[in-house]
Amino acid sequence: MKYSGLALSIALATSVSATAQEVSPTAVSFTDGAVAQSLSGVAGDAAQGRMVVGNKSLGNCVACHEVSDLDDVPFQGEIGPPLDGAGDRWSEAELRGIVSNAKIMFEESMMPSFYKTEGFIRPGKAYTGKAADDTFGPLLTAQQIEDVVAYLTTLKD
């Protein structure tokens, strides 16, 4: 049973139309897995991004990735590669693409798509086990993605 993508994208388009600069999750344009254009039109805040990466109820990236810079966050996972040096290995556009929808850069990746609202099988209402309703939105907001990208670019070896 697929989520009705059409209804959802309409709901989202109206809810974000207030912020003129924002690119909606269904309108993101990928080139070789990278996204050149800022999703929010507002420069990312690396300190804010650092918080999103470590926070269990936001990015929770450390569930799968170790980040030495976040040594204050306990229990870092080892499913994906450590993010140390990610800012050397990838350009800003590539990082934006990976965080928005990693499956375009890495086929079949286990990494969740943080800026995507369509094409899910049995999407739920967060962690309730119930079906998604009209509050359904991407895992992170456009600005949170920009903040995370700004933080990742600071991770240099």
Among 106, 119, 131, 154, binds ligand HEC (CB under 6 A): 106
Q: Do the Cβ atoms of 30 and 116 come closer than 8 Å? A: no
Q: With binding defined as CB under 6 A, does residue 83 bind ligand HEC?
A: yes
- How far apart CA 20 and CA 22 sit, in angstroms, is 6
CB of 84 to ligand HEC, least distance (A): 8
119-138 residues in contact with other proteins (CB under 8 A) are 120-132, 136
CB of 148 to other proteins, least distance (A): 17
With residue 87 as reference, give the H or E element that holds it: helix 86-89
- How far apart CA 111 and CA 72 sit, in angstroms, is 23
Q: Which is nearer to ligand HEC, 2 or 156 (CB)?
A: 156
Q: With binding defined as CB under 8 A, does residue 26 bind other proteins?
A: no
Q: Retrieve residue 44's tokens.
A: 């990312």
Q: C-alpha angle 68/46/59, rounded to 5°?
A: 70
Work out what residue 76 binds among ligand HEC, other proteins, none; the CB cut-off runs from 5 to 8 Å by kind.
other proteins
- How far apart CA 40 and CA 35 sit, in angstroms, is 12
Residues touching ligand HEC, count (CB under 6 A):
25
Shortest CA distance to 147 belongs to which of 77, 94, 92, 102? Answer: 92
CB of 21 to other proteins, least distance (A): 25
- How far apart CA 155 and CA 153 sit, in angstroms, is 5
Which residues here bind ligand HEC, judged by CB under 6 A? 53, 59-61, 63-65, 79-81, 83, 86, 89, 95, 98-99, 102, 106, 109-112, 114, 148, 152
Give the residues lining the site for other proteins (CB under 8 A). 56, 60, 62-64, 74-79, 81-82, 89, 103, 106-110, 112-113, 120-132, 136, 139
